[in-house]
Chains A and B, each alone.
Chain A
Amino acid sequence: MHCKSSFYSWLMLCLLVAALSGCGGGSSGESAQTTTASVSGTVRYEDREYSYSGFTGNKSYKSVRYAVVDLVDASGAVVDTTVTDEQGYYELAGRGANMYVRVLSMTSEAAGSHIEVRDYYGAVYAVRQNVSGEDVLNFDIAYEDRIAGAFNILDVYTNASLFVEQMSNTPLPALNVHWQAASSRYGTYFCQTNYVGGSCPQGKGIYLLGGSSSGGDTDEYDDDVLYHEYGHYLEAAYGAQDSPGGRHYLTDNDSDLRLAWSEGLGGFFPGAVKSWLKENNPERLSISSGNISTYFVDTVGSTAAISIDMGNPSTMFCLWGVDCFVYSSSEVAVAKVLHEMRKAFGMQAVWDVISGYLPSGTVQSSTLESFWDGWLEQRAPDAQELGTLHSIFEDRQVYYQSDDYESDDDHTFTRKLTVCGSGSCSGELHYLYSQSGADVDMISFDAQSGRSYLIETLDLSNGADTYIRILDAMQNVVVDATGQTMVNNDRPGTVYCYTYDNPCRIHNDDAMLSSSLTFTPLQSTTYYVEVSTSSSKPAAAGRYGTYTVRIVEQ
């Protein structure tokens, strides 16, 4: 009996010890390794330095900030969770079997917004290390272990979100980023709707190139490309995204105004964030010391394929060195204007118009025109500020101002345009712009009956889409000697589609939306050419614009 009692006492004691320490019984390997762990450490990833030429070959470790860190047991249950601090430091404690620590490519809101970097199938990345009795478990994620790219993406978007947070009180929505090493199944772009499928297999978010097994283009360390796409995310976050999207080339200056604005904002954003970092947190930058913040660099391999200063674009890329980064239809011009505005008036002022006016302050599409309108409405600039604004916009050949003939808005104006003889004739420069509504230019000229005149608008820029009418002294539309009513929107023979690069894209070039009339007057008298913005202008064109008008006797 005693013996029996001793046996049961021993058994109970053994079971108790087993339950507390995980060492009892020995029948289960997992329970055998159940431990209590208290672990802390620092998480870092290896960043690549780049210059105007591409990656320099220099690398350095940076802390992984505000990332979620889990203590996970063998069953996959999260025993404890925390978030790294500014220095990448974390502490975890818990009890379980065969535990490991994992650092997720996912931030808390402390990063300015909730950011997740996922693979193309929607899984969040993590690096893990087993807990095996150490108190300290550091994570150094090396560049060679390509997963470091996910943490660079996380770091860049943390910079961007913190940059926005210090200007805005509105919390940003969660940002999902999709990238996969050695895979370029998708391109680099932003999907703005929740539609799942096609080019957006995980719905809304930023998709990034991951290269291919034989090299290819990869963007996880192209900080400027990452910031560019963040610009698109911001537009969508604030409900100010009106761009039709699609391919766009940096030297284009005849783009859809909505596209030029959106891509120009994307071109501006990298320089804006880097300039802020340079002043406030230079150790988070990846550019070489002395490099200009406004440079936009996109590498292929280790070399820069695109390297252009958005704050001072070089004309060496343009035909015969004539500046091609001009007009509101050029994304580089838009970026340059925004940089100059930032330097002259501060980033907060620029941000207030972008975030406060464009989304809800106007029914118009987001374009440089709307940004201008918002600036005037929000700031009511004095003469000095207006002078600075005009100077900045004129530098990019954008003219939101009165032209030299602005008193010609009705037919009482007596100045007459000289009719050219046949041959070359330069015409007269006008701006379709009015702060108080739609601008109408009225240009008078003398015509002789029995003769024929070509009346046309030329050299259109800044999204102009002209509409012309010929009026008599009573302001009636004229019917000429051939029986034609003297009204024209786009010149006869205009081809909108099947240009070389896009089947049906409107080009804001010098001719596509211009107007022309051949006029054979019935009477010798004074007539009026009325030029206005077409009421049927495509969404790609502007409400404002620049043109020249010419009358040639044929």
Chain B
Amino acid sequence: MRFEKVLVKCLCIGLCALFTTLAGAKPLSPIQVSIMPANTPAQGQPVQFVVRATVTMDADNVHILVSVPESLQVLDGELQWQGPVSKGQETLLRFSAILSESSTALEEAPLIQVQAAVLSGAQFGGNQGNALGRLAASAHYVWQTGLANVAASSKTSRLNSRLKSRVVKGNGITVHEFELRP
């Protein structure tokens, strides 16, 4: 009993600390989007994808656009959608795709990109922004299954620093040093 009380007290303190310590997160777009495979990707098999978009406000004009690279063949489903969405309502897009036969030797994994925006129609278009602004969200899925040459995708290696690094302690400070090439 005493242990339970202590446990509850600890949980309360922990939760309070968590909630009182995070003062300000960055602002979020009112639209949120995700893409997930509905079935486990397997070599040579089509994969069904589900795109989910939700909006935290009533919006009369929401756009969802899925960009699929040429190395994937879309078998069926929708790749774009436009229309009104009520606050909290979930909008779903489904499509299935398969890796093109000629794509198994790719050096970089195909990337499926999803963009969703609360924006008037004429001004939405892929990577183009506009002078009036943009409230959007994006998500992506990296297709790895069935690719022969993508041991470590070049995308991954680009994101990590090219520099050799080490951690040095001393003089009252810990330093994460990166060796700059001449």
User: Residues on A close to B: CB < 8 A?
Assistant: 51-54, 76-78, 102, 104, 118-119, 121-129, 139, 141, 144-147, 181-182, 187-193, 195, 197-200, 211-215, 219, 225, 228-229, 231-232, 235-236, 241, 243-252, 262-263, 266-267, 295-296, 298, 300-309, 313-314, 316-317, 319-320, 324, 331, 500-501
Name the prevailing secondary structure of the B interface residues: mixed
Q: Which residue of A is nearest B58, CB measured? A: A319
The one of A51, A123, A197 in contact with B174, judged by C-beta atoms closer than 8 angstroms, is A123
Nearest CB of A to B137, in Å:
6
Nearest CB of A to B15, in Å:
10
Chain A residues within 8 Å of B21, by CB: 191-193, 195, 198-200
The one of A141, A181, A266 in contact with B24, judged by C-beta atoms closer than 8 angstroms, is A266
Q: Which residue of B is nearest A236, CB measured? A: B23
Nearest CB of B to A77, in Å:
7
12 residue pairs of the A-B complex, CB under 8 angstroms, read: A126-B176, A127-B180, A199-B18, A200-B22, A213-B160, A214-B140, A245-B23, A249-B30, A262-B24, A266-B24, A303-B136, A306-B134
Chain B residues within 8 Å of A189, by CB: 22-26
B178–A219 CB distance below 8 A = no
Chain A residues within 8 Å of B119, by CB: 316-317
Nearest CB of B to A156, in Å:
14
Chain B residues within 8 Å of A316, by CB: 119-120, 123, 132-133
Chain B residues within 8 Å of A124, by CB: 173-176
10 closest A-B pairs (Cβ-Cβ)?
Answer: A53-B129, A232-B24, A123-B176, A500-B88, A307-B134, A192-B23, A189-B25, A123-B174, A251-B30, A76-B170
Within 8 A of A (CB), among B129-182: 129-138, 140, 142, 153, 155-156, 158-163, 167-171, 173-180, 182
- Flag whether B56 is at the interface (Cβ < 8 A): yes
Nearest CB of A to B129, in Å:
3
Q: How far is the CA of A146 from the CA of B85 in the complex (A)?
A: 39
Name the prevailing secondary structure of the A interface residues: mixed
- Flag whether B1 is at the interface (Cβ < 8 A): no
**Inter-chain contact total with CB atoms closer than 8 Å:** 239
Q: How far is the CA of A214 from the CA of B144 in the complex (A)?
A: 11
Q: Which of B24, B28, B135 gathers the greatest number of chain A CB atoms within 10 Å?
A: B24
User: Residues on B close to A: CB < 8 A?
Assistant: 14, 17-30, 56-60, 87-88, 111, 115, 118-120, 123, 127-138, 140, 142, 153, 155-156, 158-163, 167-171, 173-180, 182
- Given A54-B127, A215-B140, 17 extra CB contacts under 8 A: A76-B168, A118-B176, A124-B173, A126-B177, A181-B159, A190-B23, A235-B23, A249-B27, A249-B56, A267-B27, A303-B115, A305-B29, A305-B138, A308-B134, A314-B132, A314-B133, A316-B123
| Known contacts A246-B25, A248-B27, A305 near B160 by CB under 8 Å | no
Nearest CB of B to A72, in Å:
8
A248–B25 CB distance below 8 A = yes
Q: How far is the CA of A243 from the CA of B59 in the complex (A)?
A: 27
Q: How far is the CA of A319 from the CA of B62 in the complex (A)?
A: 11
The one of A141, A188, A295 in contact with B26, judged by C-beta atoms closer than 8 angstroms, is A188
